[in-house]
Structure 1
Amino acid sequence: MAFGEQPAYLRVAGDLRQKIFDGVLPPHSRLPSQAKIRAQYGVSDTVALEARKILMAEGLVEGRSGSGTYVREMPEPARVLRAGNRVLGVGGPFRQEQADEQVKGSWESCSEQQEAAPAVAARLRIEPGGRVMCTRYVYRTDGEPAMLSTSWEPLTLTGRTPVMLPEEGPLAGQGVVERMAAIDVVVDNVLEEVAARPGRADEMAVLGGVAGHCVLVIARTFCASGLAVETADVVIPADRFHAVYHLPVR
């Protein structure tokens, strides 16, 4: 193969991808069968199969048992505001956006005490195995799952206080800043680290989609004078949402 020349399976995948982008293969239409790809492009079964695998891995098509492979409908990504003054506002950015009358948002959560895994302990700067309150959230927009979040708070800080359970008690749902202020802890810093990875099967089973499709993972940690008071992993389907950072200039 000459320098710069693509392997056959990439050329086939690229042509099919362009047809999807151009609307020649519109959403819900059936992708040509392996036999048709082989005949149309003059390639082997192996090349045709690999080209289809690439399109599936990219999230452009999906297989339907006993029916074939179809072009997925790709929605226009919505925006999730993650920064600026609102990130420290009441209830967090998602809850504020869902307060908009034009947006029908909801969420559900559950909390349990557990021992901190090494990675979580490192972010909270506590000993591995230290007791934490773990809270898992599913956020929905118009009834559809939009975002997952798992948060951990050290019980050495919140244990036996009115804010030990984030979604129960007098400050239920008020957000980390307000809850910590109630126990005289002033949050003054938040760190967010954004990464992308394939979505796990358990995550995509809730969010909708195929395991392996790309998700954004935002590792967020709230701090008070250098003390980590809460850390969380926020998981967002990358094909449906963009994380938007609006930073004030001081």
Structure 2
Amino acid sequence: MTFGEQPAYLRVAGDLRKKIVDGSLPPLTRLPSQARIREEYGVSDTVALEARKVLMAEGLVEGRSGSGTYVREQPEPRPISRSGYRPSIGATPFKQEQAEAGARGTWESRSEQAEADRAVADRLGIKAGERVMCTRYVYRDAGEVMMLSTSWEPLAVTGRTPVMLPEEGPLGGMGVAERMAAIDVVVDNVTEEVGARPGLAEELMALGGVPGHVVIVISRTFYASDRAVETADIVVPADRYRIAYHLPVK
């Protein structure tokens, strides 16, 4: 294949994608059948099938058992604000951002002790197998699941203290910095790495996505000087939300 050429299935998928984007094939419209694609574009059944697979993988169409393939409704992405830490507010980042956006956010959580696997241990700067408090969150906006999060805190820091359980006790539900300050641990910096990957089956089930959908993953770690005191993975459906940063300039 020379520069600029495309396989036939990508050419067909590209033309169908253009029709979906410009509204020629509006949401909930049935995609042309495999036979129709074959005849209209002068391609083989294999090419027509591969073109449809491309559109499915991109989340532009979805198959319905016994009915055919239809154009999916594409939601308008909404922002999830990441505005940095402001200690005067005294709340978790989710609470801060929801308040600023005027959103109707709720969440539920479950905490349990666990052993840190190699990846979590590396992020926390501890040995694999050391005990951590693992907390899983499901965040909703007006009842719709918008975000998942799993956090890990080393029990060497929080164990046998009033803040061992992030969502319980006198500071339950407060931000990491406020909780750590209560046990004389001063959180003074945080890192975030943003990436994307195909969603895991259990993530997409919770988020209401379909197999193959991409999720945005924010890997966040809070530090007290050089010591990590909490790390978390925040998972957001990429087709419905975008991550918006608003940070102070010093």
**What TM-score, normalized to structure 2?**
0.95
SS at match of 2:163: coil
Return the alpha-carbon distance in structure 1 between the equivalents of residues 86 and 216 of structure 2.
20
- Give the equivalent residue in structure 2 for 1:4: 4
Structure 1: gaps spanning 5 or more residues: none
CA distance in 2 between partners of 1:88 and 1:227 (Å): 23
CA distance in structure 1 between the partners assigned to 2:105 and 2:29 by the alignment? 31
Alignment of 1:44-193 (within 5 A): 44-86=44-86, 90-99=90-99, 102-193=102-193
Per-residue CA deviations over 1:3-47 (Å, capped at 9, x if unaligned) read 422111000000000001001111111111111111111111110
Match of 2:232 in 1: 232
Q: Distance in 1 between matches of 2:190 and 2:2?
A: 51
Contact 1:87 1:93 in 2 (8 A): no
Label 1:153 to 1:10 Cα distance change in 2 as closer, same or farther (>3 A). Answer: same
Q: Contact 2:82–2:97 (CA<8 Å) still a contact in 1? A: no
Deviation at residue 86 of structure 1 after TM alignment: 4.6
* Unmatched tracts of structure 2, length 5 or more: none
Change (3 A) 1:88 1:187: farther
CA deviation digits over 1:161-190, x for unaligned, max 9? 111011111111001111111111111000
- Alignment partners' CA distance in 1, 2:47 and 2:208: 29
CA deviations on 1:172-216 (whole Å, 9 max, x unpaired) are 100111111111111100000111111111100000111221111
Aligned-residue offset at 1:98: 2.5
CA separation in 1, counterparts of 2:196 and 2:143? 25
State the SS of the aligned residue for 1:247.
Answer: coil
Q: State the shift of 1:91 in Å.
A: 2.9
Q: Is the 8 A contact 2:87 2:178 kept in 1?
A: no
CA 1:26–1:192: 2 relative to 1, 3 Å: same
Establish whether residue 246 from structure 1 lines up as the match of residue 246 from structure 2. Answer: yes
Aligned-residue Cα RMSD (Å) equals 1.6
TM superposition score normalised by structure 1 = 0.95
Cα displacement (A) at 1:100: 5.4
Query: Percent of counterpart pairs with the same letter?
Result: 72
2 CA distance for matches of 1:173 and 1:154? 18
Aligned structure 1 segments of 4 or more residues deviating by more than 6 angstroms: none
Q: Give the stretch that moved more between structures: 113-122 or 26-35.
A: 26-35
Cα distance in structure 2, aligned partners of 1:150 and 1:140: 15
Aligned length: 250
**Aligned partners of 1:66, 1:87: CA distance in 2, in Å?**
55
In 2: Cα distance, 1:142 partner to 1:26 partner: 27
Q: Which residue of 2 aligns with 1:209?
A: 209
The SS at the match of 1:47 is helix
Structure 1 stretch displaced more, 216-225 or 74-83? 74-83
| Cα pair 2:188 2:224 within 8 Å, conserved | yes
Quote the Cα distance in structure 2 between the aligned partners of 1:120 and 1:156.
14
